[in-house]
Structure 1
Amino acid sequence: MAWVLIVASLVVLWVASLCKILYTSSPPSRNSFLTTGGAFQKRNVLLVVAHPDDESMFFSPTISYITSRGHNLHILCLSIGDADGKGNIRKEELYQACAILKVPLQQVKTLDYPELQDGFGKVWNHTLLAKIIEGEINSHGIDLIITFDRYGVSGHCNHCDVHYGVRKLLQDTPQGNIEAWELMPCSTQVK
């Protein structure tokens, strides 16, 4: 008999939770991403990633959304991803992915600095990252930056460093009206 009460209690809690979710939640604001609240305004967006393949693995839905809405997207990839000696192949794959995602290749930039090499043990200097990103902002009139969350989505230290490089730029440099967004990842079990 006790098990019937337990099951009934669980069903009641489940129904109450479901009702709360369905009736008290609201859809995200339509004015929250890439809009100014008024008429359409073309945005200059900079996506900052650590390695070739980050754009495809983590940001392809975002890239598709931005390009389909007519915004001007630039991609800055801070390394060629040469940890396994395949950097040139990965760089070419980045350009191929960007062509498929409808990002003009002249708006894709890949760096190969000695201080920014791919690897789990490689720590990237946040000040250097901020300086590089600032240069891209100034070159292209960027008004919105998108990058990794502070955990780098997958925990990769280079991804985390990119996040902190963007944060350092925004904290240390008065950039005016630049909006910054970070990826909100799903559980790594889902990936």
Structure 2
Amino acid sequence: MFFSPTINHLTSRGHNIHILCMSTGNADGIGDVRKEELYKASVILKVPLQQVTTIDHPDFQDGFGKVWNSGKLSKIVEKKILAHAIDMIITFDNYGVSGHCNHRDVHQGVRRFTLDTSEKDIEAWELVSSNIVRKYSGPIDIWLSFWTLKGEMHCLVNEHPLRSYAAMSQHLSQWVWFRKLFVSFSSYTYVNTLRKINK
């Protein structure tokens, strides 16, 4: 729903993408279903299945009011990075696009990793959350995003928005009318603004 412009931009330029999902999304008891849906969506986004990892940890169950430990999350991120020689992380910012507590916890865990790691060659970038008007401005936000760039920021335009729609439609357990509208009209289908997380 949020990162497909970044994924499409990087895969189309030959970058090797790994997806790390910190939860199966089991709040409604369908974690296994949602895990399989993520794999199907990843295939459409041209990310090999062996490069998609979903964590099912008792301390990282999704849902409001469930705080994820940033130290444990940092260690999981570190393990993934070392196992695959990853040199860049892209994650949520402190608001997490929708304000979801788990998105915010992921940001805190990655931030903790960047502060604790001795690895100097790893860059971390965050997806900038936009206000509600811009969030639902669709492709118009491409222009607004470039206009508001400052400092260490990049705008990645989605060259394949229909692919993003097709990927999201693989999440049948969540593919209800308002998410169809979101994917159609959300600026996050068309452009991602990334800001560097400074150590």
Question: Do Structure 1 and Structure 2 share a fold, with TM-score over 0.5?
Answer: yes
Q: Percent identity?
A: 64
One-letter code aligned to 1:145: I
Deviation at 1:143, TM superposition (A): 0.5
Identify which of 51, 59, 62 aligns with 1:118: 62
Q: How many residues align?
A: 135
Look up the match of 1:139.
Answer: 83
Pick which of 95-104 and 85-94 moved more.
85-94
CA deviations 1:76-98 (Å, max 9, x no partner) are 00110001111111111100000
2:10 is the alignment partner of 1:63: no
Look up the match of 2:118.
Answer: 174
Cα root mean square deviation, aligned: 0.9
One-letter code aligned to 2:59: E
Matches for 1:75-114 after TM superposition, within 5 Å: 75-114=19-58
Q: Which has the larger radius of gyration?
A: 1
Tell me how far apart the structure 2 counterparts of residues 89 and 61 of structure 1 sit (CA, whole Å).
24
Whether contact under 8 Å (1:151, 1:159) holds in the other structure is yes
Q: TM-score, normalised by structure 1?
A: 0.69
Structure 2's unaligned 5+ residue stretches are 137-185, 187-199
Whether contact under 8 Å (2:22, 2:60) holds in the other structure is yes
Whether contact under 8 Å (2:23, 2:57) holds in the other structure is yes
Q: TM-score, normalised by structure 2?
A: 0.66
Look up the match of 2:74.
Answer: 130
One-letter code aligned to 2:103: H
Tell me how far apart the structure 2 counterparts of residues 70 and 96 of structure 1 sit (CA, whole Å).
20
CA deviations 1:81-122 (Å, max 9, x no partner) are 001111111111100000000000000000100000000110
Deviation at 1:186, TM superposition (A): 2.8
Whether contact under 8 Å (1:154, 1:188) holds in the other structure is no
Look up the match of 2:100.
Answer: 156
